[in-house]
Amino acid sequence: MCALHAPTQSLDVTVQEPIVNDFAFSVATKNGSGSQTSNNVLVRTLFDMGIPVNGKNLFPSNIKGLPTWYTIRASKYGYTARRATTEIVVAYNDSTLADDIADLPAGGVCIIRDDIARYAPQRSDIFVYEVPVKQIMKTADVPREFSSRVENMTYVGAVAQLFDIPLDMIYAALLKNFNNKKKPADMNMQVVQLAYDHFRNHVEKRDPYHFAKMNGTAGKILITGNEAGGLGAIFGGVNVVSWYPITPSTSLIDAVNDYRYLRQDPDTGESTLAIVQAEDELAAAGMIVGAGFAGARAMTATSGPGISLMAEFTGLAYFAEIPCVIWDITRMGPSTGLPTRTSQGDILFTHFLGHGDTRQYVLLPASPEEAFEFGWRSFDLAEQLQAPIFVLSDLDLGMNNWMSEPFEYPDQPMQRGKVLDAEALRAFISQHGKWGRYLDVDGDGITYRTLPGTDHPMAAYFARGTGHDEMAVYSERSDVWVQNMERLQRKFETGRSLMPKPIVDKAPEAKIGIISFGTNDPAIHEARDWLAAQGLKTSYLRIRALPLTQEVKDFVFDYDRIYVVENNYDGQLNQIMRIEYPQNMSHVRSLALGDGLPMTAKWIIDNVLEQEGNL
Amino acid sequence: MARQPAVNTLGLTKDDYQGRPTTLCPGCGHNSISNQIVQTAFDLGLPQHKILKMSGIGCSSKSPAYFLGRSHGFNALHGRMPSVVTGALMANHELKVIAVSGDGDTGSIGMGQFKHAIRRNVPFVYIIENNGVYGLTKGQFSATAEEGLDLKYYGKNTFHPIDLALEAIISGATFVARSFSGDKNQVQALMEAAIHHRGIAVLDIISPCVTFNNAPDSHKSFPYGSKNQIPLHEIQVLSPDYVQAQQEITIDEYAEGEMIEVQMHDGTYVRLKKLDKGHDPRSKAQAITILEEAQRENLFITGLIYYEEPRPTLPDTENLVPQALATLPGDKLRPSREALRDVMAKF
């Protein structure tokens, strides 16, 4: 990525010369109308053309009928953050028409269904193309029952013709979308072709926007974070999955299901992985805690409301020291909040989840590669630390298509942590004189556990949330309690050293540092390039885990000013940093948004400039 | 010289099956049940490392610490024992789970998990030590307390009780029994049958709280239970070999219809000799009718109330590999490098 190419489009300036591979469009449809196929095919085709692209679905909590938008951004510079405004809108929803057209910048393009065109507000400063949807569908040989689902292909044909997308590549994407089933691909393609022909024969192109093949996606894949996380769990050897359906986490479990075949005997179908749909998130948490206690690699996936319900169990697991993995695909707000909008609002709650003194270990993926890596590594960490590991993704990463490097195979064998089988237990006892479940012989706070089923008369222990001594025996003594908490603190410090380190990009002579985590990453990259082009250099540290590692502390005190960029209202990471580093934090400022949408570069740029101007 | 203590088939004494000293009230019904678990496990020669003791929260849920000291145990969360058992059995389906709950733990906070564990047919022994009150919080009514029960601090119970055996049957449990902790022989026989059962086995054992609910007219007190218990049958649990050897004698001994033999999945027989009330536990209609009648007439019936041929258990329906998942080595759990390459090629 070249820092000199400032993203002019974020300033919404109309340019008259041809604009190639550097614009965004928004597709406005009704939920449940089948537009997902059209949108996926468009994104896939652009990706296959070698154009760096993202696709973000802004959808309602609804099965059918409410407005939904899909934004696609193509960027020859490789910027994949969301853009707040788009140059092009596909206006297929009469109920949002007025706003959709009003939001276009001057020089923008509106591709509109002809049967709603008469309701469109008149603007002389935009290009309007009408798609005769009914007429095209009348000509198409499509069975009536599919008609309404396929008619969204008309805008695919229009977009392809107007902006120079090769039809054979659309067809290839359709085949991919339908798992190489020719019949549905052909049916959809027919509609694409008819719309394409209509535009070629009857419509004059006047706008400056074009796509052109380039070499910006070679070797990359296009995948959602939830598919990546589910696949990661499969390669992490997950044994027990228990879950309760909740948006936006459901597709992560669906992915585990889709790739379950990798964990099945091809002849018998017998599996090394059990998947149980629980009656609620309490039970889902209970099942993974039970499974972790008995020695399995167990996980669940949920979102905020489920995390709330899992508080008691994960607090127990922290204290009884039971490995398990909990994915939180974060969505917006408490209660139902905005259930189909993204957020980073669970980081504070999750880090301290559990009553009493609890500090949970949290992984913070920012990309599909990291979702995959943390998908398997979380089990290693859980078993090494004998504790719950939370993986905090969000709706944006989880449910949207992201460009990604292909995933790397795990670089180390599975780490099963300190588990004593009967033989190892005998050796332990002969070395130390005794074994106790919470006896810290290594001084790192991590003790040795045995699993149910271990054939040794001294192997058993009674796990519990009540006060217990080193031998796992019930105790209400204050000194025993405090001693245990001190050991858990030692373990926490060990955990600090085991967690993934932050990604740091230092700019020479920068006086400003940006700290963030997760899916703000693409917006921060873009904002930093833009700011650098304006002469404002910034360094960037992206946190990948809690507890914060030493590198974070070093970074915080290396700069004159630190901006903590996060997608929640309260600035929760900023608060966590203030708990960890109470000293001299006046140079640290919170840039917290929390509007339910993936962050844009423009918001970061505007806020940094405003703060810097006001110094 | 002191007499050598008796040893079982594993060469262990009964003492080897004891847990830590109980901290429950002297005379608590739960201690008696713990003793029967110790006795049954000793008699059957159960290897303790293959047993997992599970519980929720409450007086009853403390008791797994007081039996089978060589078995792993987990005192989990209030009302949530069933989910923890479900997970543990997915991890290791070779374990035999003996789980203890109470009427508060199961009948109130844990009703959902109780029913869903039954729905999934999670194969474990689910003991409810049912005394009608909350003990650790000092004597509130539980959901199983009979209407009109008068308690010291909380006055008169105005609500209709929940019958947990009935709830279990309605939810689809395949083995449902009711007993009285004062009837050691029956508790032991039902415990043994439950251990042999393949599927969820619910034992609703009335287990008096000597501190908060033991007045003679209280339906869950010792005096009441001792006086009013109506056993439906005499229960014997017989190994397959024993039955074969004794078959002719036993059949001649009783008139037709006086004796029911139920063969369990592992070949064990449960022989029920009918007493004054006729009841066939193989009929769901009879089981529901007799429980409804008992509730209406205030009859304290005990015995094997419902038994059904084993349905597939959760580990069966999950179609897991034969080896316990928790003991599989890493190379059996992580697909190959090539597998990842193939998946990546699809994107």
pLDDT of res. A614: 67
User: Please, which residues bridge with residue A29 across strands?
Assistant: A68
Rounded to whole angstroms, the Cα distance separating A209 from A24 reads: 10
Structure token digits, residue B229: 């218990």
A278 → closest Cβ in B83, B89, B339: B83
Judged against a pLDDT cut of 60, whether residue A6 lies above it is answered with no
ipTM over 0.85: yes
Using alpha carbons, select from A592, A561, A560 the residue that is nearest to residue A576.
A592
Judged against a pLDDT cut of 70, whether residue A374 lies above it is answered with yes
Give the whole-number percent of chain A exceeding pLDDT 70.
Answer: 97
DSSP A481-514: HHHHHHHHHHHHHHHHHHSPPPEEEPPTT--EEE
Structure token digits, residue A609: 């400039």
Rounded to whole angstroms, the Cα distance separating A334 from A331 reads: 9
Rounded to whole angstroms, the Cα distance separating A338 from A329 reads: 13
Rounded to whole angstroms, the Cα distance separating A113 from A118 reads: 10
Residue B20: partners with Cβ closer than 8 Å, 6 or more residues away:
A473, B65, B66, B69
A464 Cβ under 8 Å from any chain B Cβ: yes
pLDDT in tens, B202-244: 999 999 999 999 999 999 999 999 999 999 999 999 988 765 5
* In chain B, residues 214-273 whose CB comes closer than 8 Å to chain A: none
Structure token digits, residue A8: 């002019």
Q: Are strands B51-55 and B96-102 parallel, antiparallel or unpaired?
A: parallel
**Confidence band, pLDDT 50/70/90 cuts, at residue A119:** very high
Helices A368-385 and A478-498 cross at an angle (nearest 10°) of: 150
pLDDT of res. B4: 84
Q: Do B340 and A235 touch (CB under 8 A)?
A: yes
Judged against a pLDDT cut of 60, whether residue A94 lies above it is answered with yes
**Confidence band, pLDDT 50/70/90 cuts, at residue B261:** confident
Judged against a pLDDT cut of 50, whether residue A456 lies above it is answered with yes
The mean pLDDT of A195-206, rounded to a whole number, is 97
The mean pLDDT of A507-535, rounded to a whole number, is 97
pLDDT in tens, B150-199: 998 899 999 999 999 999 999 999 999 999 999 999 999 999 999 999 99
B65 Cβ under 8 Å from any chain A Cβ: yes
pLDDT of res. A12: 43
Chain A residues with CB-CB distance to B322 below 8 A: 270
Using alpha carbons, select from A279, A270, A273, A324 the residue that is nearest to residue A306.
A279
Residue A375: partners with Cβ closer than 8 Å, 6 or more residues away:
A228, A229, A230, A231, A232, A233, A234, A235, A236, A391
Residue A267: partners with Cβ closer than 8 Å, 6 or more residues away:
none
CA-based max dimension of chain B: 79
Residue B240: partners with Cβ closer than 8 Å, 6 or more residues away:
B267, B268, B269
Chain B residues with CB-CB distance to A268 below 8 A: 319
Phi, psi of B220 (to 5 degrees): -115, 25
Q: Do A270 and B116 touch (CB under 8 A)?
A: no
CB atoms within 10 A of CB A547: 18
DSSP A465-479: SS-B-TTS-B---HH
Rounded to whole angstroms, the Cα distance separating A283 from B119 reads: 14
User: Please, which residues bridge with residue A69 across strands?
Assistant: A28, A58
B96 Cβ under 8 Å from any chain A Cβ: no
Helices B164-171 and B284-297 cross at an angle (nearest 10°) of: 160
Helix (H, G, I), strand (E, B) or coil at B326: helix
Number of alpha carbons in the 13 Å side-chain half-sphere of residue A405: 7
Number of alpha carbons in the 13 Å side-chain half-sphere of residue A583: 3
Q: Do A276 and B334 touch (CB under 8 A)?
A: no
What is the 8-class DSSP label of residue A264?
B
pLDDT in tens, B296-324: 999 999 999 999 988 999 999 999 999 99
Span between the terminal Cα atoms of chain B, in Å = 79
**Closest residue on chain B to A241 (Cα):** B87
Higher pLDDT, A16 or A603: A603
Residue with tokens 């669970």: A346
pLDDT in tens, A324-351: 999 999 999 999 999 999 999 999 999 9
Contact by Cβ (8 Å): A276, A242: yes
Q: Do B86 and A293 touch (CB under 8 A)?
A: no
**Closest residue on chain A to B81 (Cα):** A286
Give the whole-number percent of chain B exceeding pLDDT 90.
Answer: 86
How far, in Å, are A182, A370, A376, A563, B260 from residue A402 at the CA level?
26, 12, 19, 26, 65
Helix (H, G, I), strand (E, B) or coil at A265: coil
Contact by Cβ (8 Å): B134, B142: yes
pLDDT of res. A13: 44
Residue A360: partners with Cβ closer than 8 Å, 6 or more residues away:
A314, A318, A350, A351, A352, A353, A354, A387, A388, A390, A546
Using alpha carbons, select from B58, B72, B177 the residue that is nearest to residue B110.
B58
User: Please, which residues bridge with residue B130 across strands?
Assistant: B206
Rounded to whole angstroms, the Cα distance separating A160 from A174 reads: 13
Residue A316: partners with Cβ closer than 8 Å, 6 or more residues away:
A289, A322, A354, A465, B76, B77
Judged against a pLDDT cut of 50, whether residue A10 lies above it is answered with no
Contact by Cβ (8 Å): A223, A402: yes
Chain B residues with CB-CB distance to A292 below 8 A: 87, 91
DSSP B243-284: HHHHHHHHHHHS-TTSEEEEE-TTS-EEEEEE-SS---TT-H
Distance in Å, alpha carbon of A278 to nearest chain B alpha carbon: 8
B312 Cβ under 8 Å from any chain A Cβ: no
Chain B residues with CB-CB distance to A266 below 8 A: none
Average per-residue pLDDT in chain B? 93
Helix (H, G, I), strand (E, B) or coil at A86: coil
Rounded to whole angstroms, the Cα distance separating A390 from A285 reads: 12
Span between the terminal Cα atoms of chain A, in Å = 30
pTM over 0.90: yes
Rama region for A414: left / alpha / beta (φ>0; ψ in -120 to 50; rest): beta
B22 Cβ under 8 Å from any chain A Cβ: no
Using alpha carbons, select from A456, A463, A424, A455 the residue that is nearest to residue A441.
A424
Provide the b/e sequence for B229-267 (b: ≥16 CB within 10 Å).
Answer: bebbbebbbbeeeebeeeeeebeeeeeeeebbebebeee
Angle at B36 (CA atoms; ends B33, B41), nearest 5 degrees: 130
Q: Do A270 and B91 touch (CB under 8 A)?
A: no
**Confidence band, pLDDT 50/70/90 cuts, at residue A61:** confident
Judged against a pLDDT cut of 80, whether residue B131 lies above it is answered with yes
pLDDT of res. A90: 97
Phi, psi of B313 (to 5 degrees): -90, 170
pLDDT of res. B256: 57
pLDDT of res. B243: 54
Q: Are strands A22-30 and A67-75 parallel, antiparallel or unpaired?
A: antiparallel
**Closest residue on chain B to A402 (Cα):** B347
CB atoms within 10 A of CB A57: 20
The mean pLDDT of A409-424, rounded to a whole number, is 97
3-state helix, strand, coil in chain A (%, to 5): 40, 20, 40
pLDDT of res. B248: 44
Distance in Å, alpha carbon of A292 to nearest chain B alpha carbon: 7
Residue with tokens 């926007």: A209
Helix (H, G, I), strand (E, B) or coil at A451: coil
Judged against a pLDDT cut of 60, whether residue B48 lies above it is answered with yes
Q: Do B318 and A454 touch (CB under 8 A)?
A: no
State the DSSP H helix or E strand holding residue A300, giving kind and residue range, or none if neither.
Answer: strand A298-302
Residue A230: partners with Cβ closer than 8 Å, 6 or more residues away:
A251, A252, A253, A254, A255, A256, A257, A258, A259, A375
Distance in Å, alpha carbon of B291 to nearest chain A alpha carbon: 27
B339 Cβ under 8 Å from any chain A Cβ: yes
